[in-house]
Chain A
Amino acid sequence: MEKPLTQHINPKSAPLTFKEYEKAGGYEGVRKALKEMTPAEVTQLMKESNLLGRGGAGFLTGLKWSFVPMDEASKPKYLLCNADEMEPGTFKDRYLLEGNPHQLIAGLIIASYAIQAETAYIFMRWAYKKAEKMINKALAEAYEAGILGKNILGSGFNLDIHLHMSAGRYICGEETALINSLEGRRATPRTKPPFSVVSGLFGQPSVVNNVETLSWASHIVEKGADWFKSLSATGTGGTKLYGVSGRVKKPGLWELPLGTTVREILEEHAGGMAEGYGFRGLLPGGASTDFLVEEHLDIPMDFSTIAKAGSRMGTGTMIILDDKTCPVAFIRNLENFFALESCGWCTPCREGLPWIEKILGAIEEGRGRMEHLEILQRQTKYLAPGHTFCAHAPGAAEPLQSGLKYFYDDFVKHIEQKKCPWR
């Protein structure tokens, strides 16, 4: 089984240097793109590969690139790499950033070339100190080698990549809030439309892609769309970094064909539930996705199949809920995070999430009333997509609404016993 993204990563040793990665053929894709292909051809190839964005939304990457206006008047343009990985339970981008920074740089060069951006930014989570070091070192090597800067490989294409360390807000992962933050402004999402591809950073056309997504670019250019498509277990294409955290035998991260079933990931790769713990449910793609339960275990982890099951693929890194953990406390913890990380721009999110959090706190601490459950039900509908300015609150509502569906009895027990049964 091919593992293109992680083949050169060994967490126990330092990532490949520029020379080592170059020797391993890592920059061949860049060579090919810049020397043999037009920007339009690169974008077209990316479209054909069907690479879906790995940040969570699963939007077709090549299609996003193709929306960028290519006339001279639209310059300057920007490529932005979203490395602000703050989704609870998610650590896949970190693995790539720390493990193979040159793979990302190669991807950034190709993406920038495709949209003809001469400046790219990596917007990275503040806490990723090691990744910061690795990326900075890799950037220096790349400049040194002439693969960044002016007239790259004699192609006439120029590119500067800057690393920006975020101040640390979950909302910065929302691409327009990321742009505001990068401009030095409050990290609130922007009005859409216009979309970033038309009016983004400094009002210029900008593409925002996730680390994992960009890491693919060089491989796809080098080996082609068909190769990429052949990697997945479903028709979607590519492999995916799947992660598991929670009370399992071997929590971790694995590069597997996209569409591997939940059960295989959980039981084979993560080794099943830890001794003495039973499975109750899981959040498939980070904290802002709906719970899946026993009945969903044989579903392939792919964007469309997970959506059919009522949840979202998200980041593909699952969090397991075991039978020794109180689901109310579990959800309360998540809602606490989401309430805290609301940017405060729109009413339902700013006022609704703290109310949810307070109610969950009351239930967990034995002060809950049955009316609270009605309010919670109502709030999850109140926070529906389209009701809020961005996807933050609807995402926050997902574990709650599915939690109420699958673990309703646990909520009631809290209220009836006036305490948390797990304590």
Chain B
Amino acid sequence: MAKIKIDGKQFEVEAGKNLLDTCLELGFDIPHFCFHPALGSVGSCRLCAVKKYKDEEDSRGRIVMSCMEPVTDGLIISTHDEEEKTFRAEVVESLMTNHPHDCPVCDEGGECHLQDMTVMTGHNYRQFDFKKRTYQNQELGPFIKHEMNRCIQCYRCVRFYKDYAGGKDLNVFASNNRVYFGRFEDGTLENEFSGNLTEVCPTGVFTDKTAHKHFTRKWDLSNTPSVCTHCSLGCNTLAGERYGTLRRIRNRYHGDINGYFLCDRGRFGYEFVGSDNRIKEIWKQNGNREVVSSESLSEVLSGAFQEGHNMVGIGSPRASLEANYSLLSLVGTDHFYHGVSAHEYELTKMALDFMQNSGIQIPTLKQMETADVVLILGEDLVNTAPRMALAVRQAARHSMNKDAGAKKIPEWTELAVRDNQPVLSTQIYVATPKKDSLDDVIKQPFRGGYSEIAALASSVAALLDKNAPAADSEHKKLASDIAKALQNAENPLIISGVTCGDKEVLQSACNVAQALLNNDKKVMLGMIFPESNSTGLSLFPGKPLADLFASSEKKPVDTLVVLENDLYRRAETGQVNDFLLKCKQVIVLDQLQNETTVKADVVLPAAVFSESEGTLVNNEGRAQRFYKAIPDGENGQARESWLWLNELKEIKENGFEGWSSLDDVFQSMLNELPAFAALKGKFPDEGFRMLGRKIPRESFRYSGRTSIHARESVSESYPPEDFDSPFAFSMEGQQEDPPSSLITSYWSPGWNSVQATNKYLDKPNGDLKGGNPGIRIFPTAAKSKTSYFKLNGSKSNKGTGEWQLFPVYQIFGSEELSAAASSLSERIKEPFLLLHPDDARDAGIDESTAVQVEIKNEKLTLRVNFENSLPRKVAGVSLQLPGMPFVALPGSGKITKM
């Protein structure tokens, strides 16, 4: 600790950090541009100048940059001496010599850090009377708009894009006051985290192109906390609404998960809510389609729920706990099926069982960043759990701190740390079938089919613990290197997932973790699941889909209720067709039209995430609430799934009084399903009030309230009610200091931009005040109750003429909902097959030609892409890109020339 004096007041603070960080933590408003808590200090903008004094006698002091100044005992500084104030205003003044005065037409206006800093430093009169510098802008693809004239050269963009996120195609060019930030030529920014540029940039150089299509100023947005539904990590987001439509998604800081950054799927996937494919009416389908009014729904469905009917429900890994529970409650536990493939059902259960009972540490993404040795097995992180790839990249980045620390170079002197070690030397091992986005930061890649990956991991386990099942990998040296590294690690991390789809890879990953546990090592196990609520669904009672398909052979289904689920993504086409033929009446609740809704007799329009409230359980078993951003009734007849299911239950059970709010559903779920007992009383319910008032979604500067509906009626209507949450669709209410899970906007006096986030944290880059949101559902066992998995050994394809096929996830396209987002869909590739060029040559297949791939009963036509990194006779099949049917992957199959 260090005793320091700021403006004459004593503080006791952590020594060794940088002064700016400390001042921000203490709540001082020190202007800054280039410093970002996640990107460290570089000292380029010179805005965070403060006066430092030698001792109590020193009255002159000298200007230092607070971001570059280490906090030491006895430090004396002032933050508002005239000389430093003048200097800071001059810094802004000189930046403004070239910054255009185009705020009214700039998308950053109103949440611009440059505007805030200009006001904060007091520069207000322009003396510069020459021409401003101008640049040529670039076309950067569907996500990001580029306006270089606004640039103030803080270098944050390249520091985030290149240094933090590993991007290769954004750089800084030229010098002096012609410095340029962009690509070497026009083209799409390829890095998966490019969207963060819109929040990292302190002004309007990089702005959200998707939001621009339906632009709204920050102060005019009605913001609601949400949770990303596009993968299993559960990153926190803020959904912004105006005029009944979702305008944009922004990062909602979460100290354990996403921190300051989201992936592009999470940020730009939201546009699916406005897709032409949205279902907004109740449809009765029987060869033709008939729109049904809400009133006549009970009539339409009257036959569906007769006494003695065999009624079954299929739940969904992308629907909330409450929606799934409503379905379970409607059909009964014995008739509730998990809407995932049999294979996924088994792997998910297995992984969750290990996570709960092995006593292993389930790490947050933030904890993953502290790992010194990482072993990734089978998972293509950037495509299956993008934000986790970014966390692992930080673990790599932090590896530089050791060497720097030895030379007393503080971690926060970002560039000095990097300069000190121009070539990364990490202990990250990635074993995947093809080249990986993390390859540039790892110790050694291993490329093999899943069976070789499992064999390698098993060998590592066997080397770590002689009681582990004996294994024999051909890669003894690598296995022994990995085992040694893990054994000597302080914070070892193993990552695998259900997404890779291979049981043996998953089991061998658990075995490595188990071996370390048996050696009394502290070890983290990061597990990836396929969808936003895969974990939650798996904790429900119920049987796998395959059981339903099998039983329907004997006992036809009278009424099938499918909740937010396209069955054609869960099983082979023929199988689903056969099954649906055996169902007399099919009721489907979903948001977007798909193969299953086409086959339904009745389609109920389900509300999307931004129109509903519910709870999702992420990959670490953390239950998190997302809330409704759009008032009811803005999308035709669309309603929240639990409301539809509630209504079905009322129709079915004469006398069921129904749930009147989501709190009722949730309460009932807690009573019925012990797996969720830990959530009791943990989420603020509808009755939650701050100083007797609800939390407003709208900012207190929200404009046009009285005129927004003036075209319909000149009298101001009462704001829409929200009976399910502590939020109001209004500007009225208590906005200050909400609980961390209920933050609707980052704002603080003088801080209108996203930089205000820091005001909500215990310290920059730290935890949200009051703790990070979400409740871990299951405690990890105190002692390991698990034992080693016995692997069956690899199945060889040799001599069969068959190929080992593995799933190739795509951040853009493999996830069902985001694939329907208009801008994001521009980034989706055509379905493809990855082949080693030598394999292709042997088979006489040329690049870019179409081939037929036969996997079990399914035949696919795919375009061939060459991939040098693949092992021989192992081929990758793009997974569930739009237009592709379900195929059982991984598996073996035939490839034939067309």
Residues of A within 8 A of B (CB): 169, 179-180, 183, 186-187, 190-191, 193-194, 198-199, 202-203, 339-348, 350-355, 358, 362, 371, 375, 378, 382, 386-389
Contacts and interface: CB of A to CB of B under 8 A. Distances in A.
Given A199-B404, A343-B176, A347-B44, 13 more contacts: A193-B408, A203-B421, A203-B422, A344-B174, A344-B177, A347-B95, A350-B179, A351-B94, A351-B97, A355-B128, A371-B127, A386-B62, A389-B43
A371 B125 CA distance: 13
Interface in B149-177: 152-153, 155, 172, 174-177
A339 B177 contact: yes
11 contacts: A190-B415, A194-B407, A194-B420, A203-B421, A203-B422, A341-B176, A344-B175, A346-B43, A347-B46, A351-B97, A371-B127
Given A199-B407, A358-B130, A191 B177 contact: no
Contacts of A186: 172, 175
A199 B418 CA distance: 11
A164 B379 CA distance: 44
In order of increasing CB-CB distance, the 8 nearest A-B pairs are: A351-B94, A344-B179, A203-B420, A191-B416, A342-B176, A199-B420, A358-B130, A344-B175
B177 A194 contact: no
Contacts of A347: 44-47, 91, 94-95, 152-153
B405 to A, nearest CB: 11
A348 B46 contact: yes
Contacts of A183: 422
B44 A354 contact: no
Contacts of A346: 43-46
A191 B415 contact: yes
B90 A378 contact: yes
A254 B591 CA distance: 86
Interface of B: 42-47, 49, 62-64, 68, 87, 90-91, 94-95, 97-98, 127-128, 130, 152-153, 155, 172, 174-179, 403-404, 407-409, 413, 415-416, 419-423
B575 to A, nearest CB: 57
A339 B408 contact: no
Contacts, number: 112
Most buried by A among B64, B404, B407: B407
Given A193-B409, A199-B416, A342 B177 contact: yes
A11 to B, nearest CB: 34
Contacts of B45: 346-347
B416 A344 contact: no
A191 B408 CA distance: 13
Contacts of A341: 176
B419 to A, nearest CB: 5
Contacts of B416: 190-191, 193-194, 199
A180 B403 CA distance: 19
Nearest to A198: B407
A354 B177 contact: yes
Contacts of B91: 347-348
A211 B44 CA distance: 30
Most buried by B among A186, A348, A351, A353: A351
Contact of B87 (A179, A344, A387): A387
Most buried by B among A198, A339, A343, A386: A386
B176 A340 contact: yes
Nearest to B33: A347
Contact of A344 (B63, B127, B178, B421): B178
B46 A191 contact: no
A191 B42 contact: yes
A351 B44 contact: no
Contact of A382 (B47, B90, B413): B90
Contacts of B95: 347, 351
A371 B127 CA distance: 9
B43 A191 contact: yes
Contact of B97 (A180, A198, A355, A388): A355
A180 B172 CA distance: 15
Contacts of B46: 346-348, 387-389
Given A191-B413, A341-B176, A350 B153 contact: yes
Contacts of B47: 347
Contacts of B419: 179-180, 190-191, 199, 203
Nearest to B96: A351
Nearest to B403: A203
Contacts of A344: 153, 174-179
B407 A191 contact: no
Contacts of A378: 90
Nearest to B180: A344
Nearest to A74: B407
A184 to B, nearest CB: 10
A266 B877 CA distance: 80
Contacts of B409: 193-194, 199
B124 to A, nearest CB: 16
Given A169-B175, A387-B63, A351 B420 contact: no
B175 to A, nearest CB: 5
A401 to B, nearest CB: 16
B44 A194 contact: no
B85 to A, nearest CB: 13
Nearest to A186: B172
Given A342-B177, A347-B153, A351-B94, A386 B422 contact: no
